[in-house]
Structure 1
Amino acid sequence: MSEPIYVIVVNWNLKEDTIACVESLRAAGVPLRQIVVVDNASTDGSVPALRERFGAALPLIQNAANLGFAAANNRGIRHALAQGAEWVLLVNNDTVVAPTFFEALQKAITEHPRFAILAPLILYFDAPDRIWHLGDRLIPGTLATVSLYRNRRDRGQLPPLLPVDFVTGCGMLVRRDVFETIGLFDTGFFMYAEEVDFCWRARQAGFQIACAPKAKMWHKVSRSANRDRPAARYRRVRNQIRFYRRYAAGLQRPLMMGFTLLRSVGMALGDLLHRQPSLVSPLLQAWRDGWFGDPNPTEEL
């Protein structure tokens, strides 16, 4: 790889998935020394398992508590930048990448230098040709977005590069000067929406974002979040609303408040219909806290 790319993988109690992720990254051509695993105080034996598999060649940062996705990634990013990384790739630990992954990313970097944040095509692990995420674009006049090609099949029909407004932290490649200009992730988000806030700040600073569909990865989809669905539901909804609350201007605020209220009611009805009443209370609390609670909460598990 002609550009020094470092990879950050955050782990919390998913040792088998993290090992598989690191193995796929290594098979795609990145040296172990450029893969940084940040462990969020796992209790499943992740740290000794990683040490046994990869030895001291794998940089492994251990947090004393679960600091969340944003803070853990920030620790890894700081390490990577200190080592001279020109690009930092964030990947979820429940993903695997294609053998040609870094080759495709490097091609996008070389051919489209104006883009400072790039994301791969992310497919479902259990449905390998179906698209999970390929970026989002803003709906004009609002802060709401639409996901591109979501749940469609990848039949080779995608353009080589797709400019977007937002990408997911599940897989995003960020150029060094973005961090140097706007800083790191806002740790107040803990997990969920931190990458949305980051992409917004990057775009406001003049950086451009795109997806490079030739770079492919497969996502097992929220393995850790599914262990605590009420908490995951609360954080996801609250943090999305916090983003709207922070950046809505003028009439956008009442518009987004009404939009999120209607959507939350619809989600609550769906939860009741699917016999998941435990998700209703955290959903409604998330709406209230997102709009009227502490705008900069701190959180730790």
Structure 2
Amino acid sequence: MENFLPKVYIIILNWNGLQDTVECLESLKKITYQNCKILIIDNGSKIDEAKILKDKFGDFIETIRSDKNLGFAGGNNIGFDYALDNNADMILILNNDTIVNPDFLEKMVSKMESNIGMVACKVLNYYKRKEINAMWSAVHRCGSFKGKGYGMTDIGQYDDREYVFGPSGCCALLSAKMLEDIKKIEGNYFDDDLFAYHEDIDLAFRAQMRNWKCVFVPDAIVYHKHSQSLEKSGDRSP
């Protein structure tokens, strides 16, 4: 059992973001973790970008095409069902406008324990590599939500944190058992009514209420272009 590697499905939503998704996939080709599958959900792009990606990457990816944009919540929910039907132990949601460090997933998986339902990583700015995009999702005392450390220079000021509220939806490793637990009780994973904002916060709230914890892994690093799909399409990157 010492050599057991949990099966991880990486879910990437694509919405009129072909160039970004290609760059993301090229970075995923270099990761060190060996037991993972990559699922692209084409979320109603103007052209069939799922086919273009499948033609380019072949068996490296699996694809599902939706005829309409189901939003971040609806698109990922399709991916969750698919991954769980295919015996995933963990599911990583990853924005398409990111690139990853080769060892990021290996480090995240190593921190998933029986009471851990979520793993957060360090998300830095793609263009300013020492600028924080999000460490984890935080709820402030006034009730507002924001990625912890957003816009600050990363000097390791948060690296000693272990348990946090929840991961940023930009990159989050989720336990299959946690997702199944939440859906069994509440009928969904992400709330489809939210469509494209605060789904990660909502899921973390519901997970914490069911005693699922989130751990932060500061040496698992992802770089995020941040709102690239928003600028291209007039809505949040789904």
Under TM normalisation by the shorter chain, which class is it?
0.7 to 0.9
2:96 counterpart residue number = 93
Residue 185 (structure 1) aligned with residue 186 (structure 2) = no
Output one character per residue of 1:113-135: Cα deviation in whole Å (capped at 9) or x when no partner: 53210111000000011111011
> How far did 1:75 drift?
0.8
2:45 counterpart residue number = 42
Residue 220 (structure 1) aligned with residue 225 (structure 2) = yes
Mark the runs of 5 or more structure 2 residues left unpaired by the alignment. 184-188
For residue 9 of structure 1, the aligned residue among 3, 9, 12 is 12
Change (3 A) 1:213 1:33: closer
SS of 2:67 mapped into structure 1:
coil
For residue 76 of structure 2, the aligned residue among 66, 73, 76 is 73
1:25 counterpart residue number = 28
2:167 counterpart residue number = 167
> How far did 1:47 drift?
2.4
SS of 2:94 mapped into structure 1:
strand
With a CA cutoff of 8 Å and minimum separation of 6, indicate the structure with the bigger relative contact order.
Answer: 2
Look up the equivalent residue of 2:171 and give its one-letter code.
Answer: G
Change (3 A) 1:41 1:137: closer
2:155 counterpart residue number = 155
> How far did 1:138 drift?
3.2
CA distance in 2 between counterparts of 1:101 and 1:174 reads 14
Change (3 A) 1:33 1:150: closer
Change (3 A) 1:160 1:19: farther
2:199 counterpart residue number = 194
> How far did 1:202 drift?
0.6
> Contact 1:135–1:168 at 8 Å: present in 2 too?
yes
Mark the runs of 5 or more structure 1 residues left unpaired by the alignment. 233-301
> Contact 1:37–1:60 at 8 Å: present in 2 too?
yes
2:123 counterpart residue number = 122
CA distance in 2 between counterparts of 1:18 and 1:7 reads 13
CA distance in 1 between counterparts of 2:159 and 2:208 reads 22
> Contact 1:33–1:57 at 8 Å: present in 2 too?
no
1:251 counterpart residue number = none
TM-score under structure 2 normalisation?
A: 0.87
Change (3 A) 1:113 1:213: farther
> How far did 1:149 drift?
2.6
Larger Rg: 1
Output one character per residue of 1:75-133: Cα deviation in whole Å (capped at 9) or x when no partner: 11111111111110000000111011122113322xx5532101110000000111110
> How far did 1:32 drift?
9.4
CA distance in 2 between counterparts of 1:82 and 1:128 reads 37
Look up the equivalent residue of 2:150 and give its one-letter code.
Answer: R
RMSD of Structure 2 on Structure 1 (CA):
2.3
Percent of residue pairs bearing the same amino acid type: 29
The structure that is helix-richer by fraction is 1
TM-score under structure 1 normalisation?
A: 0.70
Output one character per residue of 1:223-244: Cα deviation in whole Å (capped at 9) or x when no partner: 1112355x55xxxxxxxxxxxx
> Contact 1:15–1:44 at 8 Å: present in 2 too?
no
SS of 2:200 mapped into structure 1:
helix
> Contact 1:32–1:57 at 8 Å: present in 2 too?
no
